[in-house]
Amino acid sequence: MPFDESKAKPRHAPPSESDVAFYAAHTHRGLVEYETFLDFKRNDVINKKVLDLGSGPHGRFARELEVQYGEQVDVTSFDFIHSATRAGSERSQKSVAGLFSQLPFKDNSFDMITSLYGFPFYSPTLEISKKILRELIRITKPKGTIVLWPVLEAFLSMAKDIVQDKATVSWEDTSDTFGNFPRGRVTITKLPNVS
Ligand SMILES: C[S@@+](CC[C@H](N)C(=O)[O-])C[C@H]1O[C@@H](n2cnc3c(N)ncnc32)[C@H](O)[C@@H]1O
């Protein structure tokens, strides 16, 4: 029987008011924190198209980049929680509501895709993770990167299997930086000749 994604609750259920309150309370990070977790440099974001997957209700990563770099950054905050939050000053400029597994973006759209405590952290099943990975590769530009944290090392072989000859995948143990949290960072780079 095919897997019914709509039954993969609660992470694929519409966000409730308490979800919004919970994520709003837990996503007040500063730019340095994002830089540390995601290990990106200024040149990775300036004049680049960035997608933040699982941005949290306020699109905090986008806002921090906008405060620091102004119009030199172009960040889209993607989260199903945006369907439950009202547009307003708290939101970053570009907020798109949706599920990780149904990304409404064209092929080769983004130079960098980030996800901090988003994907695969909240992916409910391995099958959905595979589907999301294929989609992420599709919407990443050639030579673009996807940076995910936190990720278990076991994710690496699955990701390599999925991206095959379309991208390189590496996993870095970050437990030294982040204490006893035994997880790492995955970086996926789409190859230049893949469209
Ligand atoms: C802990 S918050 C992380 C926020 C932000 N990245 C940060 O670290 O500050 C996780 C976010 O992922 C979103 N999320 C979880 N599963 C999702 C899915 N399947 N599709 C879209 N968004 C999802 C939640 O709505 C939530 O806002």
Percent of the chain with pLDDT over 70: 81
CA nearest ligand 1 atom 7, residue: 27
Q: Is residue 63 part of a domain?
A: yes
11 in any annotated domain: no
How far apart are the C-alpha atoms of 90 and 101, rounded to whole Å? 26
With tokens 């983004």, the residue in question is: 110
pTM, to two decimals: 0.88
119 φ, ψ to 5°? -105, 135
Instruction: Give the structural domain span for 68.
Output: 18-190
In a domain, 112, yes or no: yes
Band of the pLDDT at 83, cuts 50, 70, 90?
A: low
Asked if residues 71 and 47 have their Cβ atoms less than 8 Å apart, the reply is no
Residue 92 lies in a domain: yes
9 domain residue, yes or no? no
87, pLDDT greater than 60: no
Q: Is it the case that residue 91 has pLDDT exceeding 90? A: no
In a domain, 195, yes or no: no
Are the C-beta atoms of 141 and 111 separated by less than 8 Å? yes
Pocket test for ligand 1, best of 5, 19, 117 (most atoms within 8 A of CB): 117
Does the Cβ of 37 fall within 6 Å of ligand 1? no
Confidence tier at 47 by pLDDT (50, 70, 90): very high
Paired strand residues for 188? 146, 169
Name the residue of 5, 29, 50, 55 to mutate for ligand 1: max ligand atoms within 8 A of Cβ: 55
Q: Which amino acid belongs to residue 71?
A: E
Q: What is the pLDDT of residue 179?
A: 67
70 and 38 Cβ atoms separated by less than 8 Å:
no
Give me the chain's average pLDDT, please: 84
- pLDDT digits 0-9 by tens, 163-195: 999 999 999 998 877 766 668 999 999 999 987
- Ligand 1: which atom is nearest the Cα of residue 99? 20
In angstroms, the Cα distances linking 38 to 90, 114, 138 are 23, 7, 21
CATH of residue 146's domain is 3.40.50.150
Mean pLDDT score, 154-160 = 93
Residue at 127 is within a domain: yes
- Indicate the pLDDT class of residue 98, thresholds 50, 70 and 90: confident
Q: Which residue has the higher pLDDT, 19 or 162?
A: 162
Query: Considering only CA atoms, which residue is closest to atom 4 of ligand 1?
Result: 56
Domains identified in the chain, total number? 1
The answer to whether position 184 is within a domain reads yes
